Structure 1
Amino acid sequence: MSATTARPTAPRHALPDPGERVPSISLPIVAIFTGALTVFTLSTWAALTDRLPTLATVLLSATAIFVLFTVLHDAAHYSVSTRRWVNVAFGRVAMFFVSPLISFKSFAFIHIEHHRNTNDEDNDPDHFVSGAPLWQVPVRFALMHVPYLAFLVRNVRRRPRAEVLETAALLVLSGVVIVACALTGHLWTLAVVYLIPERVAMFVLAWWFDWLPHHDLEDTQQENRYRATRNRVGSEWILTPLLLSQNYHLVHHLHPSIPFHRYVAAWRRNEEAYLERDAAIGTVFGQQLDADEYRDWKRLNGKLARLLPVRMPKRSSAHAAKLHPVRVAGVDRLTDDSVLIRFDVPGELSEQFSFEPGQHISVRTDLGGEDVRRNYSICSSATSGTLAIAVKHIPGGAFSTFAMEQLRPGDSLDLMTPTGSFGTALDPLATKSYVAVVAGSGITPVLSILQTTLAVETESRFTLVYGNRDADSTMFRAELDDLEARYADRLRIIHVRSRDPRHPADLRGRVDRPRLETWLAADLAVADVDEWFLCGPVEMVGDLHGLLLEHGAEPDRVHVELFHGYQTASVTDGFEPATVAISLRGSQHEVDLDAGDTVLESALKAGLDAPYACLGGACGTCRAKVVLGSVAMEQNFALSPAVVEEGYVLPCQSRPTTPTVRVDYDA
């Protein structure tokens, strides 16, 4: 007798970005923040003037603190505003009321670790409540500070000194205030105004935000993110406002950056996609529902759901790379020696400047009568609708010095439409593991790849190893912190710093072959990684590329990007003059090529506006397809073996080996 077990079918619906963007400023947060502070102020005044019974003032103040936790919570996920400082400002004020014992930054770190390790007994600070035996639950509800402070102490060496000092100062200040009130006979007043309301609020918060969403769920966030927390449905007319939407806590864990008041809308847009992944759902009375039971329940309640179409990044519609004047929208300092340049692409050019993650643009301008052309990776997400590059200053560099010192919003630069193929094809239904190893400004293309991948492939995970001198020289440091908060359970960032004596000893130094060798033997095993991205100095990338291949990585799964190739001297030996037919932007041209010239050189000599940037075989801007004859490429850092096999070459590195060659830039 034999038995067979039906294998679960793959989900039929992609789980896209839920369409709930972080606003410039969250008006609901502003409203509940203002209302809560007003209530707390009035209740404090009432307590000090005996205008209300003690119980009434305690309940009012506890309600205000409970509401302020949602402000703190959204600020920790940078959901209050697209401006980082706004989130920090709201978070710091709210933290002072919710718990003055730790800093906002410390709370944010602890809370993100909860997201990353939900239901993991050893690493989830909230498991103190959600995993507690029932008979201990009431006591633990009121003691949530204990696991948080203990967790912070265990990880104190991982945290910045300023954050640790701020938390220490708050602990000391809290103690001083309590002792001072006790010595002056005002301890009961402090208790009525704050200490008792804060404990009441903490009890309810632990119950509603930690225990109700997570208790009795065995899967961790890493094992099954759809069953590490639950939605609680039913009586939503009262439950949703009462819990400030945390009855849809599963949506929050899947998409931490969604503002609290948009959880329900996100669920309804993606409902079938969630259900196909066996999302954990319970009713208001604690009954657990599987997908079919939930559908039945929903039909009884007359609710309907909609699906949001997936936003996939598109390649430029331009047939061949072409220069266009584009206005600079912003120039923002990233570090002391780098700037972020944002562009205002005209609507009529938007399709031509569409890009896939990992692509780059060439920038051209006139500096002192000299035509200066440089190539820069696009660092913005391909789903964001924005175009941005980052420029790191090179001593003596013409364009980087101009960008740092003179470029201003409103100026115009000539931009070439996006080219390059550093990224990889994305699939909304994929569940993959990505690892990027970068150094310095090598972060720019990977930042676009990372953001886009996590937004499109909602089941995939990404590890970024990022080498820099120190924290101050780290480009996009704040943005990476935001992304780690947004994708807490799917993004891990490992900072390696060569000149920071306070950095953990095992992460001090350079990103080099011995260090990667150690990681490959531990938690970055080649067999567990689907795609690798390497970007940085030539020597580093070359060493790591070779190491990965030695460990069994498939060559087409290791993607390499170099900002500079090797400039080579002109050669003539072994080459003969040739005739080159060129297809460029729909027009046909025939040019004569001198012995030793490259295809690109012959095109430029003939006055053709052929695309190019680095001239060193590193950027791929000049990519074209050989459709007749053959060429020899001297070096290639931009095209994968599969692309070369299809007939594509880098004209800046290609010399004809047949009397006649036909090259198509529009292919």
Structure 2
Amino acid sequence: MTSEAEGLAVLSYLRKPPLVSWPAIFLMLAGHGGTILTWVLCLKGIWPLWFGGIVNGIMAYLLFTPSHDAMHRSVSSLPWLNELVLRISTALAVPFGKGHFFRVMHMQHHRFTNEENDPDHTLASQFKMIPLWGIWPFLYIITFAKNPENFPGLKPKEVWTELAIGFTIIGAFFLWIPLEMFWLWLVALYIGFFLMCLVFMVLPHYPHTVRESDDPYRASLIRKGHEWLLTPVLLYQNYHLVHHLYPTVPFYLYGKAWKAREAFHESNNPGIVPAFGLGAKD
């Protein structure tokens, strides 16, 4: 086999979902485990509520990666396990929801990256929108409500029913323990969603001017350098271009997927950004 053939073979293997993505399962358990522990410590008065809100925000950020992989069905080759992880990982935002709403909206982003129909584009491409980064799921709801016909994969009745059930449960908890819910749920989710927006929507596509349909190798970016730091902090989204090229590759294999055909990838003039820079070099 030639090196090119070997690279293709490796990439083909990496694109197949594993039986179980244990890193995704670990992040899901760590995220929920950390959230539960934070609630216990705050309710016992060991931690102040404001500190618990910060910790829970980080836990919410961790939970987005398993939910994101589950949206792409790359957590497992077992369909039921993918759906279970998606439900559990998105439960903090919408209790008892399926997560299907988030999946359809995210697929729209992949289909129309950096275009008008990209549900992330307006929010992520304008710095004046920074205060809204922490509420992007609610902006998804508004986007859907305005033009449900743009999302044929979603049934309005099902969406509104899930949201009604979820917000009823959340509302009941607010009536019971309002101060705790404010810090440990509302503030925490704002922090978590803000980090998700920054890491998954803003930095990987900045300056948001190249459309996926025009040049898929420059619509998303590779953040090169200091991988020892950025890879764990960004949960592999420093390789976000890999995700857009090969959406079914599990997050922890992005680097291997890039290196499997590195010469080929680099021959396509990919968007590469310095570790702490903004915007790809020409």
**SS of the residue 2:210 aligns to:** coil
Deviations 1:236-259 (A, max 9, x none): 111100111011000000000000
**SS of the residue 2:217 aligns to:** coil
Higher strand share: 1
Deviations 1:448-497 (A, max 9, x none): xxxxxxxxxxxxxxxxxxxxxxxxxxxxxxxxxxxxxxxxxxxxxxxxxx
Q: 1:167 Cα deviation (Å)?
A: 2.5
Establish whether residue 265 from structure 1 lines up as the match of residue 256 from structure 2. Answer: yes
Q: 1:147 Cα deviation (Å)?
A: 3.2
Higher helix share: 2
Deviations 1:102-124 (A, max 9, x none): 6411111110110010000x210
Residues 245 and 263 in structure 1, CA contact (< 8 A), matched pair in contact too: yes
Partner of residue 73 from structure 1, selected from 68, 72, 88: 68
**SS of the residue 1:281 aligns to:** strand
Deviations 1:495-552 (A, max 9, x none): xxxxxxxxxxxxxxxxxxxxxxxxxxxxxxxxxxxxxxxxxxxxxxxxxxxxxxxxxx
Establish whether residue 61 from structure 1 lines up as the match of residue 53 from structure 2. Answer: no
AA partner of residue 260 (structure 1): F
Residues 231 and 238 in structure 2, CA contact (< 8 A), matched pair in contact too: yes
Q: How far apart, CA to CA, are the structure 2 residues paired with 1:102 and 1:211?
A: 26
Q: 1:171 Cα deviation (Å)?
A: 1.9
AA partner of residue 134 (structure 2): A
Alignment of 1:381-392 (within 5 A): none
Q: What residue number does 1:196 align with? A: 187
Q: How far apart, CA to CA, are the structure 2 residues paired with 1:236 and 1:56?
A: 29
Q: What residue number does 1:221 align with? A: 212
Identity of aligned residues (%): 28
Q: How far apart, CA to CA, are the structure 2 residues paired with 1:100 and 1:167?
A: 13
- The runs of 5 or more residues in structure 1 that have no matched partner are 1-12, 292-667
Residues 200 and 237 in structure 2, CA contact (< 8 A), matched pair in contact too: yes
**SS of the residue 1:61 aligns to:** helix
Residues 128 and 147 in structure 1, CA contact (< 8 A), matched pair in contact too: no
Cα distance change of structure 1 residues 150 and 16 upon mapping to structure 2, 3 Å threshold:
farther
TM-score normalised by L of structure 2: 0.89
Q: How far apart, CA to CA, are the structure 1 residues paired with 2:96 and 2:205?
A: 25
Establish whether residue 240 from structure 1 lines up as the match of residue 234 from structure 2. Answer: no
Q: 1:128 Cα deviation (Å)?
A: 2.3
Residues 181 and 190 in structure 1, CA contact (< 8 A), matched pair in contact too: yes
Q: What residue number does 2:131 align with? A: 139
Cα distance change of structure 1 residues 44 and 182 upon mapping to structure 2, 3 Å threshold:
closer
**SS of the residue 2:216 aligns to:** coil
Deviations 1:261-284 (A, max 9, x none): 000111111111111111001012
Q: What residue number does 1:87 align with? A: 82
Q: What residue number does 1:104 align with? A: 99
Q: How far apart, CA to CA, are the structure 2 residues paired with 1:182 and 1:57?
A: 16
Q: 1:183 Cα deviation (Å)?
A: 4.2
Alignment of 1:503-514 (within 5 A): none
Q: What residue number does 2:277 align with? A: 286
- The runs of 5 or more residues in structure 2 that have no matched partner are none
Q: 1:87 Cα deviation (Å)?
A: 0.4
**SS of the residue 2:273 aligns to:** strand
Q: CA RMSD in A?
A: 2.2
Alignment length (residue pairs): 273
Residues 278 and 290 in structure 1, CA contact (< 8 A), matched pair in contact too: no
Q: 1:170 Cα deviation (Å)?
A: 2.8
Q: How far apart, CA to CA, are the structure 2 residues paired with 1:175 and 1:34?
A: 24
Residues 78 and 84 in structure 1, CA contact (< 8 A), matched pair in contact too: yes
Alignment of 1:40-439 (within 5 A): 40-100=35-95, 103-120=98-115, 122-132=116-126, 134=127, 136-153=128-145, 154-155=147-148, 158-159=152-153, 161=155, 164-184=156-176, 186-286=177-277, 290=281
Deviations 1:6-44 (A, max 9, x none): xxxxxxx79846241310011111111122221111011
Deviations 1:594-635 (A, max 9, x none): xxxxxxxxxxxxxxxxxxxxxxxxxxxxxxxxxxxxxxxxxx
**SS of the residue 1:171 aligns to:** helix
Q: 1:125 Cα deviation (Å)?
A: 0.4
Q: How far apart, CA to CA, are the structure 2 residues paired with 1:23 and 1:108?
A: 20
AA partner of residue 263 (structure 1): Y
TM-score normalised by L of structure 1: 0.39
Q: 1:68 Cα deviation (Å)?
A: 0.7
Residues 206 and 279 in structure 2, CA contact (< 8 A), matched pair in contact too: no
Residues 68 and 98 in structure 1, CA contact (< 8 A), matched pair in contact too: no
AA partner of residue 244 (structure 1): L
**SS of the residue 2:80 aligns to:** helix
**SS of the residue 1:144 aligns to:** helix
- Computing the radius of gyration from Cα coordinates, the structure with the larger value is 1
Residues 110 and 151 in structure 1, CA contact (< 8 A), matched pair in contact too: no
AA partner of residue 151 (structure 1): T
Deviations 1:275-320 (A, max 9, x none): 11110010122165658xxxxxxxxxxxxxxxxxxxxxxxxxxxxx
Q: 1:181 Cα deviation (Å)?
A: 4.2
Q: How far apart, CA to CA, are the structure 2 residues paired with 1:116 and 1:239?
A: 27
AA partner of residue 112 (structure 1): M
Alignment of 1:524-539 (within 5 A): none
Q: 1:177 Cα deviation (Å)?
A: 3.5
AA partner of residue 123 (structure 2): V
**SS of the residue 1:22 aligns to:** coil
Residues 8 and 260 in structure 2, CA contact (< 8 A), matched pair in contact too: no
Residues 217 and 271 in structure 2, CA contact (< 8 A), matched pair in contact too: yes
